[in-house]
Amino acid sequence: MEEKLSILAIIFIVILVATLLLKFTRMKQPNKDFSNIHSRVKAWWGMYVVFCFATLFTPIVSLLAVMILCFYSLKEYFSMMKTRKSDRRLFLWSYLMIPLQFYWIYIGWYGMFIVFIPVYVFLFLPLPRIIGKGTIGFLRSVSFVQWGLMLMVFGLSHLAFYQIATPEFGSNLVLFLIVLTQTGDVVQYLISLYIGKKKLIPSANPNITLEGFVGALIVTTLASYLLYEYLTPFDLIFGIFSGVIISVAGFVGILSISVLKRDLLIGNTAKQKQLQGRYLSRIDSLTYTSPVFFHIIRYFFDFM
């Protein structure tokens, strides 16, 4: 607990310093647009509160905190879609799936937790759309909703299952995962913004550079090496390897969400600016790192 509080205190100080620096810079350069950075810092504060609940308190409180995060992430994701009246039934049923998914976590039913959304929801979710009249846009709306549930609910809900799967190490593993994921995101963003030259996959995300990806990989792996001994039961090799896993999985998550947003918001520059720096942009990497890290640990270690 002492190590956990120390790391959360450091994160708090880092975000506070970033907030103060941003405020000072905006006062010195009032004509410069800092809206993107401001929205990012604001989102970090919100996520910090959620993750404090997810790591410091009982599994029930953690479960509720992550469930709220899933709800708002899915809601923000749905806000990008041009909807018809028939699509709203899908949205309603999707929101109802969130408490069900977290109920499987609460009772510790791993088998149902792991197949509920990828199997049962995927197969039966189209029914409200079929019954709700019309075939126009059926595939696009159903697949869009299914992807949203897969990423924003199934992927993120793994954060709540860590403490159920391993009460002894669960909260520490969640903190370890979040710190490394967010570290990779910030480093990748800053390096790509200020010193990045070679665009990695411009068709998916023109802001990500090769220098940013490599820098994030190195820094995340280094952070994993420094933290694994305090927050995890891993040995040296897997402690270092964890940084590589989280960095690469987070990178794929950023690209996937970027492509989805670009596809859905083509021509809608107002909505693009509105969603810039919101929670969906901050948890994109977590939608991948949470399940990937969880299942790799579960495969290699008995304590999960």
Exposed, middle or buried by CB within 10 Å (0-12, 13-18, 19+), for 106?
middle
Q: CA distances (Å), 40 to each of 45, 158, 177, 227, 292, in order?
A: 9, 24, 19, 25, 25
End-to-end CA distance of the chain: 20
The domain locations on the chain are 2-300
C-beta separation of 3 from 40 below 8 A: no
Q: Please provide the DSSP assignment of 190-206 as one string.
A: HHHHHT--SBS-TTT-T
Q: Which of 129, 224, 152, 234 has its CA nearest to residue 181?
A: 224
Could you read off the pLDDT tens digit of each residue along the chain, which spans 304 residues?
666 677 677 777 877 887 787 777 777 777 666 566 666 676 667 667 766 776 666 778 888 888 988 998 898 888 877 767 667 788 888 999 999 999 999 999 999 999 999 999 999 888 877 776 666 777 778 888 898 899 999 999 999 999 899 988 888 898 899 889 988 888 888 888 888 888 888 877 788 899 999 999 999 999 999 989 988 999 999 999 999 999 999 999 988 888 887 777 654 555 555 555 555 667 788 899 999 999 999 999 988 7
Distance CA 74, CA 31 (A): 35
DSSP-assigned letter for residue 224: H
- Measured in whole angstroms, the distance separating CA 280 from the mean position of its chain's CA atoms is 7
What pTM was computed for the model?
0.84
SS3 209: strand
